[in-house]
């Protein structure tokens, strides 16, 4: 329970930008500054388009601003609430658009230490894995991106997806099993073709 100061305002109001944002929309800017980058990266990993990711990230923060007064601290980081809004915004986008995903923008990282042939092979492997991840069921795909792209804990993955940490771990386990079944035969086939 928060204590009140002499003006009758809870002490948490001064320490917590979320509490301030509930009554002062201008204070929401601090939250935006703190979380916009990571929410954008999460959305970008899901939609693979810079402009679209910016639009969806804007929608996420507009929705958060509109609903900040109903936010209830449940002992999880505020970012979990934002990620949940982002998951819903991305799902809504795909329900409305039904467009194929492209990994081209994701594969433009160059390492000066790699032999060009190794780089091409590495990019092809990354492309193949991301294509396989894109074919996973929605919940499994989201769990994989949150865990491996956003480096979240199982507790945070579960919180974002509205599941227990054990259920999040099971989603990732099932996704990995599915990826192994799909990718191992493909790599064996490419080895056979090369020989």
- pLDDT, tens digit (0-9, with 9 covering 90-100), for 117-154: 666 677 777 778 878 888 889 888 888 888 887 778 88
Tell me the average pLDDT of the chain. 78
Q: Domain residues for 189? A: 112-195
Half-sphere exposure (Cβ direction) of 23: Cα atoms closer than 13 Å: 8
Q: Are residues 82 and 142 in the same domain?
A: no
What are the residue ranges of helices labelled H in the chain? 11-15, 17-23, 28-47, 50-67, 78-97, 116-134, 138-144, 154-161, 165-194
Gap between the Cα atoms of 61 and 63, Å rounded: 5
Q: Are residues 152 and 92 in the same domain?
A: no
Q: How many domains does the chain have?
A: 2
Q: Are residues 85 and 140 in the same domain?
A: no
Extract the tokens encoding 93: 């986008």
Cα torsion 131, 135, 140, 141: sign: positive
Q: Are residues 117 and 149 in the same domain?
A: yes
Q: Render the burial of 153-167: b for 16+ CB within 10 Å, e for the rest.
A: ebebbbbbbebeeee
What is residue 15's predicted lDDT score, i.e. its pLDDT?
Answer: 55
Q: Are residues 74 and 27 in the same domain?
A: yes
Extract the tokens encoding 20: 């301030």
- Of 85-89, 93-97, 155-159, 191-195, the one with minimum mean pLDDT is 191-195
């Amino acid at each position: 329970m928060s204590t009140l100061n002499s003006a009758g305002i809870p002490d948490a109001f001064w320490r917590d930008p979320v509490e301030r944002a509930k009554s002062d929309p201008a204070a929401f800017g601090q939250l935006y500054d703190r979380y916009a980058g990571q929410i954008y990266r999460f959305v970008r990993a899901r939609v693979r388009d810079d402009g679209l990711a910016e639009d969806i990230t804007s929608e996420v923060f507009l929705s958060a601003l509109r609903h900040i007064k109903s936010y209830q601290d449940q002992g999880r980081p505020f970012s979990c609430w934002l990620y949940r809004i982002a998951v819903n915004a991305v799902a809504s986008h795909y329900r409305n658009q039904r467009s194929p995903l492209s990994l081209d923008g994701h594969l433009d990282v160059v390492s000066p230490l790699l032999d060009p042939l190794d780089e091409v092979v590495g990019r092809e492997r990354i492309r193949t894995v991301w294509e396989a991840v894109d074919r996973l069921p929605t919940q499994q795909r989201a769990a994989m991106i949150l865990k491996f792209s956003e480096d979240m804990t199982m507790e945070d993955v579960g919180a974002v997806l509205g599941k227990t940490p054990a259920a999040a771990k099971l989603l990732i386990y099932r996704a990995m099993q599915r990826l192994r079944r799909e990718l191992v035969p493909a790599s064996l086939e490419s080895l056979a073709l090369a020989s």
